[in-house]
Every structure is written in C-alpha cells, then in structure tokens.
C-alpha cells in the first residue's frame, strides 16, 4: 500500500524582466533543486518590460523555501522574489469543466456554486467556467461526480497580496 505525503502548498511571487527565456531559466532552476512545480502562471504588469510569475509547489521546510527564493533572486533578470503568506493573500484559479448533467442536476449545482455556462451541447452536455480557490474547484468537480466528467482544464494559481 502506498501512502501519499501531503506537503504544504507554497507560492512564490516573482517580478522579472520580460525577456525571452526567463520563464524557462526560472523553471529549470527550481527543477534543479528537485522541486516539482505544481502550477506556474505568468502575466505582464503595469510596468512596461516587467512580468510577474506566480509559482506554486509543495514544501514543508521554510529553510528550503528561503534557499529556492535566494537562488531565483540571483538571476540577473529577476527584480524580486518572495513567498506569499497564504493568510495575507488571495490565491485563485479558473477551471473549465465539460460534463454531463440533466436540468435537475444543473439546478442543484447552481444553488451551491457560482459558474458560467460557456456551452451546452446535446441538451445534457455542458462546458462551464468556475473560478475560486482550489478547494472550491475541487468540491465543484467532486459534486459533479467523476462518472459525469468528460474533461477538466485548470489554469494554475494566480495570487495577490491583500
């Protein structure tokens, strides 16, 4: 029997110069430290020539996290890097879910969750968008039931300090 060790989810917020290859350089640096990047999102900022990257991974050790952040900061393209405190920031992701549901099931889901219907096919096949924290999205997917889900695409986290 295999047991899965659940480690603490951590997020690193990095601001960097918007140049080709920087994303790969940071991802490779983290991989060399033997971390598996759970999610990675990148977008432009209001500052021209600057991007922001949110990296999530699982790690219990504060010392190891500090070491990874120091390594990221050593990169010449990185402006700053720091860990986000989960209690002092908002973490969100988006999921697009294709699933089968009859009208009664859709009404029940709509009473428990907020989502947007993107498409409806053959009267009982829906594609919806749901946004929120990962637990809410997990709960939404669980409420549908694995036997009714056709496909799920999740964006990965983006985060913002309060």
Q: d(Cα 130, Cα 153) in Å, to the nearest integer?
A: 11
pLDDT in tens, 69-125: 999 999 999 999 999 988 889 999 999 999 999 999 999 999 999 999 999 998 899
Q: Would residue 134 count as lying in a domain? A: yes
The pTM score is 0.79
Query: Which residues constitute the domain of residue 21?
Result: 9-84
Do 13 and 79 belong together in one domain? yes
Contact, 148 vs 2, CB < 8 A?
Answer: no
Q: Would residue 2 count as lying in a domain? A: no
Q: Is 123 left (phi over 0), alpha (psi -120 to 50) or beta?
A: left
Number of domains in the chain: 2
Q: d(Cα 86, Cα 102) in Å, to the nearest integer?
A: 37
CB atoms < 10 A from the CB of 120, how many? 13
Do 69 and 133 belong together in one domain? no
């Amino acid at each position: 029997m295999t047991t899965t060790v659940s480690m603490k989810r951590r997020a690193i917020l990095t601001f960097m110069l918007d140049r080709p290859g920087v994303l790969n350089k940071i991802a490779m640096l983290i991989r060399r430290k033997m971390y598996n990047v759970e999610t990675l999102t990148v977008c432009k900022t209001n500052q021209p020539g600057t991007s922001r990257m949110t990296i999530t991974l699982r790690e219990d050790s504060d010392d190891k996290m500090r070491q990874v952040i120091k390594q990221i900061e050593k990169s010449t393209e990185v402006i700053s890097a720091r860990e986000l405190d989960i209690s002092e920031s908002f973490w969100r992701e988006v999921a697009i879910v294709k699933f089968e549901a009859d009208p009664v099931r859709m009404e029940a889901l709509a009473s428990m969750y907020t989502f947007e219907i993107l498409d409806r096919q053959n009267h009982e096949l829906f594609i919806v968008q749901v946004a929120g924290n990962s637990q809410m999205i997990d709960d939404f997917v669980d409420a549908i039931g694995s036997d009714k889900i056709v496909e799920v695409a999740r964006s990965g986290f983006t985060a913002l300090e309060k």
